[in-house]
Structure 1
Amino acid sequence: MSLTPSTMLELGTKAPNFKLLDTVSNTALSLNDLRGSKGTIIMFICNHCPYVKHVNGEIVRLANDYRVLGFGFVAISSNDVKAYPDDSPEHMFKIARKLNYPFPYLYDETQGVARAYNAACTPDFYVFDETLELVYRGQLDDSRPKNGIPTSGRYIREALDALLNNRTVLKDQKPSMGCNIKWRTY
């Protein structure tokens, strides 16, 4: 496990389009299928990373709290499943069911979507407004495994509340930290 920060994609970037397999419904879903009327949250996660395991409960709470307010949520796993079989679509399905993910859990087999978003770690979070412009990227909150700080989703909640109340999302944003995305080697 290599602790890796997110790359902090430039604010204002338009969300790159995608169409990926949802491992729960076994259907291909696009960004337009998943976007919310108020905004869209894209999370790069995986099954095996201890940083993702640490925040899983909070991302479920976050999605349950804000989906009803018009936000779309989607999780994407881009890891090389040959090197990390725990992150395979079959295991993604099991984790999504076990944890009651209230959002699609998409498989980025080619890793092209992770590259388009310049994703670097799991978890890596992106918040787009209603026009699909990036307004927040970075950490969920200050909690990390074993640091004693409870998960709260503070920074993403603040960004979503700002969007709901037509306020500017604060530009001072901290990178997410977690396991590096497991890139396929050729």
Structure 2
Amino acid sequence: MALTPSNMLPLGTIAPEFNLINTIDDSMVSLSEAKGLHGTVIMFICNHCPFVKHINSELSQLAKDYITKGINCIAIFSNDAVNYPEDAPSKMKMNALEQGFIFPYLYDENQDVAKAYDAACTPDFYVFDTDLKLVYRGQLDSSRPGNGIPVTGEDLRLAIDNMLNKTIQITNQKPSIGCNIKWK
């Protein structure tokens, strides 16, 4: 597994629109329809990455904690599912149900959305405000498989709370680290 950091898309970037299939219910989901009233968290994840497996329960809990505050989460899978069959859309649905995801788990089959967001790794996180302007990109927290630091979501939660409270994010935004996106 290669450790790959986020590319750190420039703050203020407008979220690129997309319309992708939700592997949970086979519906089409667009950003304009799925965005949150007060903000949107977009995360690039997959099934097989040990970094994502390490944080799945926190992703599920974070979405549940913030949906009542008008924050919607959207997960996108952009890996090459042919060469990584554990990430096939049918297995994405099974994983989402097992993890209790309340957010859509979208399949970016042609990888155009990952390229538009300059996503580099799984997991990769982006927080957009009500105008879909990027206010945070980076890590969930400092926990990684095997480093002994508990998974808390503190960096991502702080960014969301700062956005909701209209407080400037003064802490350093650290890149996420994970497996590289498996490009075709």
1:133-148 matches, within 5 Å, as 133-148=133-148
Per the alignment, residue 29 of structure 1 pairs with 29
Instruction: Give the letter aligned to residue 111 of structure 1.
Output: Q
Alignment-derived partner of residue 3 in structure 2:
3
State the Cα distance separating 1:167 from its structure 2 match: 1.0
Equivalent positions of 1:33-72 (< 5 A) are 33-72=33-72
Matches within 5 A, 1:1-186: 1-170=1-170, 172-184=172-184
Give the TM-score normalised by the residue count of structure 2: 0.98
Number of residue-to-residue matches in the alignment: 184
Shift of residue 169 of structure 1?
2.2
Moved >2 Å (runs of 4+): none
**1:169 and 1:106 mapped to 2: Cα distance?**
29
SS in 1 for 2:32: helix
Instruction: Tell me how far apart the structure 2 counterparts of residues 171 and 130 of structure 1 sit (CA, whole Å).
Output: 21
Residue 171 of structure 1: how far off its partner (Å): 5.9
Shift of 1:105: 0.2
- 1:170 Cα deviation after fit: 2.8
Q: Give distance in 2, aligned partners of 1:41 and 1:28.
A: 18
Alignment partners' CA distance in 2, 1:25 and 1:170: 39
**1:135-183 deviations in Å (ceiling 9; x for gaps):** 0000000000000000000011101111111111236200000000000
Structure 2 alignment gaps of length 5 or more: none
Identity of aligned residues (%): 57
For residues 148 and 93 of structure 1, the distance between their equivalents in structure 2, rounded to whole angstroms, comes to 30
**For the residues of structure 2 that align with 1:124 and 1:113, how far apart are their CA atoms?**
13
Check the 8 A contact 1:159/1:170 in 2, yes or no.
no
CA RMSD of aligned residues (A): 0.7
Residue identity in the other structure for 2:170: L
Displacement of 1:102: 1.0
Q: TM-score scaled to structure 1, two decimals?
A: 0.97
Q: What is the CA–CA distance in structure 2 between the aligned matches of 1:11 and 1:114, rounded to whole Å?
A: 17
Shift, 1:125, TM fit? 0.2
Counterpart-to-counterpart distance in 1, 2:116 and 2:165: 29
> Residues 127 and 136 of structure 1 are in contact (CA less than 8 Å); yes or no, is this contact kept in structure 2?
yes
Task: For 2:12 and 2:170, locate their aligned partners in 1 and report how far apart those are by CA, in whole Å.
Answer: 13
